[in-house]
Structure 1
Amino acid sequence: MADFVYPPVIAFARSMFKVQGLKFDIRGTEHVPRQGGALLVSNHIGYLDFVFCGLTALPSKRLVRFMAKESVFRHKVSGPLMRAMKHIPVDRAEGMHAYGHALDALRGGEIIGVFPEATISQSFTLKSFKSGAARLAMEAGVPLLPMALWGTQRLWTKGHPRNLGRSKLPITLRVGEQMRPHENEKAGALTRRLRLRVQELLEDAQRAYPAKPSGPADHWWQPAHLGGGAPTAEEAAAREREQQPLTTG
């Protein structure tokens, strides 16, 4: 079925990136298959990450269908666009429905994008990975495509104001070689190996990133272990627990 909405949305996004003056450093796009299913797996540090992850598939003339929380599909603006672009809603109360949808899409030759940390990392370091990505790839018989992005948190992330004007910010993207399970490898072991590879790509992206915080007020986007002002992983986890709504019963 032809995609009538996705290509114009991509064209609009790329035009906006030019207006913003974003400077891209993208490597590893040759690892994205030109045909057949694959599971693109990335770290998650900003609200626009899915847009930037999708850019890595354009040289292979592929479109990525992302798994996103169901509330995004209920929004009056983003909802119709997400459905028209054939992204996959994830209702955490009925996760198997989304899993089945993604499995069918992978077997049908689509590239599916997932963020196995499930939520934005407020420490900008890797959180633990859910095993769903590994299980999906293994059941569908498709490769995993590990990738990492850096700099996107400076545009729009949790707990900080949006910076969507002409910022001229650098954005660094790295795609690694395709990964498949070893013989008799379990989903848990593949998940650990996948996370390690994404960590390596993230560190490569950070080393290559051309900008440093310009002063004390600008240290917030740099991880604590690199001398920045972001919370540590432990502090971020505590903050997330405080932000979760209270439940009764």
Structure 2
Amino acid sequence: MSELSRQLLIENGRSVRVLNPPPGYALPDGAGPADVVVLFAADRAQLEKDAPAALGSLKPGGALWLAYPSPASGRQSDLSRRHGAGAFGRAGLTDTTAVSIDRDWDALRFQPLAEVPSSAIPAADMLPVGRHATFVFRAVRFVAKPLFHLIFRFDVSGRENMPDRATVIVCNHLGWMDAMSLLLVFPAEPRIHLLADPTSMMKNRPLWALVRAAGGIVPVDRAQRGGPLLFRHVGRCLSLGGAVALFPEGDFGPREGVLLPFKKGFAHFAVEAGVPVIPVGLAGMKDLWMGKRLSMRIGAPIETKGKTVDEVHRLGEQAVNELLPPYAEPPGPKPLRRWLTGLF
């Protein structure tokens, strides 16, 4: 049995296909679909490119593994245990098992959502929406705000552009701290409702219980790519004076200062509801450590009256790109970097 088979608990006699194997992990490549497929991907671009081959090489009911650079290796990658594997998520798969192959590579096993009932994405209207913040949210925010200001240094400009009415907030996506920063920096009301795939949150039971109690999330099923229920619920939120926030890139950007192409959902929401779009540029949130400076630039509202969805989409993406704060990796010690970056 090979070292890879031992680490991934692959039983003797099962056929294995390894795509992009690093030195020491190549296996003889048999003909036809395999019982187990292992895809090594250094970054999201390689995953997106090779995911169709991996899915096409797998027998029905087989085991699919994604191997990605371990944080311990010191290599920079936009793949991690919780983010970046959208290519498999769009295929209706969810990660169920995490292992460490060696110092350089970690791996995730993916299975169909139908085989993992606890991972089923809740309906978009799971939680109520509206302008007013819940008591639980206010209490959590009251505790979290001073705590996060002790851990990080926030550099915010454009506070005068914060909305006092229904609005759609769009910003670039670097890591888990993006959403937290919006909730801490923007006022408690109008209540921000985050449109997000809750898969990673659902795997952290205490966090998911807190999210459900505090409210302010509209679950998004990436495999369905939106739907009538999602649009109705977002429309209801905006009609009641609430705010919705989303990351139109759809996943974490590859690195600081670089935007992935924006999806059009935010523009549809804003145009149909007749509400403005607030663009936000973030920097410093890709890697986190104690005392790090996190930058947020809040842009002027983009009014949607008289504009088409395509126009609002273009203006929103352009505005966020122009708002991105300059970023340079600072020298010196970076305490708790690995722990804080991978916290959620």
Q: Which TM bucket (shorter chain)?
A: 0.7 to 0.9
Cα distance between partner residues in 1 of 2:255 and 2:182: 20
Aligned residues of 2:196 and 2:219 also touching (Cα < 8 A): yes
1:83 and 2:83 matched: no
Name whichever structure is richer in helix by fraction. Answer: 1
SS in 1 for 2:241: coil
Give the greater-gyration-radius structure (CA).
2
- Report matched runs for 1:65-104 at 5 Å: 65-72=193-200, 74-75=202-203, 76-84=205-213, 85-94=215-224, 95-96=226-227, 97-104=229-236
1:121 and 2:253 matched: yes
Q: Deviations over 1:180-207 (max 9, x none)?
A: 2363x321222111111101100xx21x
Cα distance between partner residues in 2 of 1:70 and 1:62: 22
Cα distance between partner residues in 1 of 2:185 and 2:323: 14
Q: Which consecutive residues of structure 1, in runs of 5 or more, have no partner in the other structure?
A: 156-162, 219-249
Which of the numbers 282, 286, 289 marks the counterpart of 1:149? 282
Cα distance between partner residues in 2 of 1:69 and 1:81: 16
SS in 1 for 2:163: coil
Cα distance between partner residues in 2 of 1:2 and 1:130: 28
1:111 and 2:228 matched: no
Report sequence identity in percent.
30
Cα distance between partner residues in 1 of 2:155 and 2:299: 14
Runs of 4+ in 1 over 4 A off after TM superposition: none
Aligned partner of 1:240 in structure 2 is none
- TM-score, length-normalised on structure 1? 0.72
Q: Report how far residue 15 of structure 1 moved.
A: 2.8
Aligned residues of 2:274 and 2:305 also touching (Cα < 8 A): no
Moved more, 107-116 or 25-34: 25-34
Q: Deviations over 1:30-65 (max 9, x none)?
A: 21222x21011110011121010223322x744311
Cα gap change, 1:132 to 1:195, in 2 (>3 Å): same
- TM-score, length-normalised on structure 2? 0.53
Which amino acid counterpart does residue 149 of structure 2 have in structure 1?
Answer: K
How many residues are paired up?
199
1:27 and 2:157 matched: yes
Cα distance between partner residues in 1 of 2:252 and 2:133: 32
Cα distance between partner residues in 2 of 1:188 and 1:42: 17
Instruction: Considering Cα pairs closer than 8 Å and 6+ residues apart, tell me whether 1 or 2 has the greater RCO.
Output: 1
Aligned residues of 2:133 and 2:190 also touching (Cα < 8 A): no
Aligned partner of 1:213 in structure 2 is 330
Cα distance between partner residues in 1 of 2:248 and 2:296: 17
Aligned partner of 1:37 in structure 2 is 166
